[in-house]
């Protein structure tokens, strides 16, 4: 259900998220689901956004055993869909403190000149335009309360550019740029904006990739294994907390040693 690849207990190190309200896009599975679980165990309430209504309902039901969870079916490239979901979260939870822009697609693999323009555009729309539209809708709610933490899930591909994934790499490089710009705009507002650049985690997103691309990604990781979702949720949780107080516009590596800059 949640894309875990390890039996590690995510509640070992407690975060102080009591009273916080978090939106997690793409929260029905994988890293998004794991982050939601970690935040709930740390005292937060969570609103899951996902385009897959059936999977979203299952995830909300499972996570509701831990804490307060709501779910909204959202198309992240549609401004009206996002506005409706923001209003739903504010109605259910009264405020928004945390936004995790996690939703993303790979668009498959292929050489740049062989990828169809519609596929290329769709990846940019979901992975970059979606976070922009979500931030555009959520930041005013954070400004009202004078507090916010935004965590953008970019990728090591956004730093290095993976062959046969130009659309995905470009979208994640753009998300890093968005993170830095927005962070500077909000630097004196007590709203911090950071990004993480994970190497691949073995979740259902692998179903969108060719085996040779998966093998390529693994060959680039010095630790010789893929990211575990528990490792991602730990960093996301800290960046979402008040303990993260003087880091904004930063890009946190999570690549098993692949990138050291």
Does residue 56 sit in helix, strand or coil?
helix
* pLDDT-derived band at 10, boundaries 50, 70, 90: very low
Q: Is the dihedral of CA 54, 66, 207, 158 positive or negative?
A: positive
* pLDDT-derived band at 4, boundaries 50, 70, 90: very low
In the predicted model, what is the mean pLDDT of residues 170-198? 98
Q: What is the pLDDT of residue 12?
A: 53
In the predicted model, what is the mean pLDDT of residues 14-35? 95
Per-residue pLDDT for 80 more than 60? yes
Distances from the Cα of 139 to the Cα of 45, 95, 132, 192, angstroms: 18, 11, 10, 11
In the predicted model, what is the mean pLDDT of residues 84-105? 98
Distance of CA 133 to the CA centre of its chain: 14
In the predicted model, what is the mean pLDDT of residues 107-123? 97
Q: What is the dihedral of CA 68, 127, 247, 28, to 10 degrees?
A: 20
Average pLDDT, the chain: 92
Q: What is the pLDDT of residue 9?
A: 47
Whole-angstrom distance, CA of residue 223 vs CA of residue 27: 27
Q: Choose among 260, 205, 253, 254: nearest CA to 227.
A: 254
Looking at residue 6, the DSSP 8-state letter turns out to be: S
Instruction: Output the pTM of the full model.
Output: 0.91
Q: What is the pLDDT of residue 248?
A: 98
Q: Which domains does the chain have, with CATH numbers?
A: 21-252 (3.40.50.720)
Look-up: residue for tokens 């880091």?
A: 247
Question: What angle, 0 to 180 degrees and rounded to 10, lies between the N-to-C axes of helices 130-145 and 166-185?
Answer: 20
Does residue 260 sit in helix, strand or coil?
coil
Q: Which residue has the higher pLDDT, 201 or 43?
A: 43
Per-residue pLDDT for 254 more than 90? yes
Whole-angstrom distance, CA of residue 74 vs CA of residue 12: 32
H helices of 95-149, in order, are 117-124, 130-145
Q: Which residues are catalytic?
A: 168
Asked if residue 222 lies in contact with residue 183, where contact means CB atoms within 8 angstroms, the answer is no
């Amino acid at each position: 259900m949640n894309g875990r690849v390890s039996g590690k207990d995510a509640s070992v190190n407690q975060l102080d998220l009591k009273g916080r309200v978090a939106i997690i896009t793409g929260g029905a599975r994988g890293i998004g689901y794991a982050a939601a679980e970690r935040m709930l165990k740390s005292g937060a309430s969570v609103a899951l956004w996902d385009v897959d209504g059936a999977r979203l309902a299952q995830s909300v039901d499972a996570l509701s055993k831990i804490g307060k969870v709501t779910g909204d079916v959202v198309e992240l490239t549609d401004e009206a869909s996002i506005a409706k979901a923001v209003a739903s979260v504010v109605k259910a939870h009264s405020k928004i403190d945390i936004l995790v822009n996690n939703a993303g697609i790979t668009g498959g693999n292929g050489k740049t000149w062989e990828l169809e323009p519609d596929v290329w555009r769709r990846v940019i729309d979901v992975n970059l335009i979606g976070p922009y539209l979500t931030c555009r809708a959520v930041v005013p709610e954070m400004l009202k309360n004078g507090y916010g933490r935004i965590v953008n899930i970019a990728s090591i591909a956004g730093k290095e550019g993976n062959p046969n994934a130009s659309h995905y790499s470009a979208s994640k490089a753009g998300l890093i740029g968005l993170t830095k710009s927005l962070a500077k705009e909000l630097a004196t507002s007590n709203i911090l904006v950071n990004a993480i650049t994970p190497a691949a985690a073995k979740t259902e997103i692998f179903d969108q990739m060719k085996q040779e691309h998966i093998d390529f990604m693994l060959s680039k990781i010095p630790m010789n294994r893929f990211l575990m979702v528990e490792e991602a949720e730990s960093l996301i949780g800290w960046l979402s907390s008040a303990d993260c107080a003087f880091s904004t516009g930063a890009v946190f590596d999570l690549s098993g040693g692949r990138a050291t800059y």
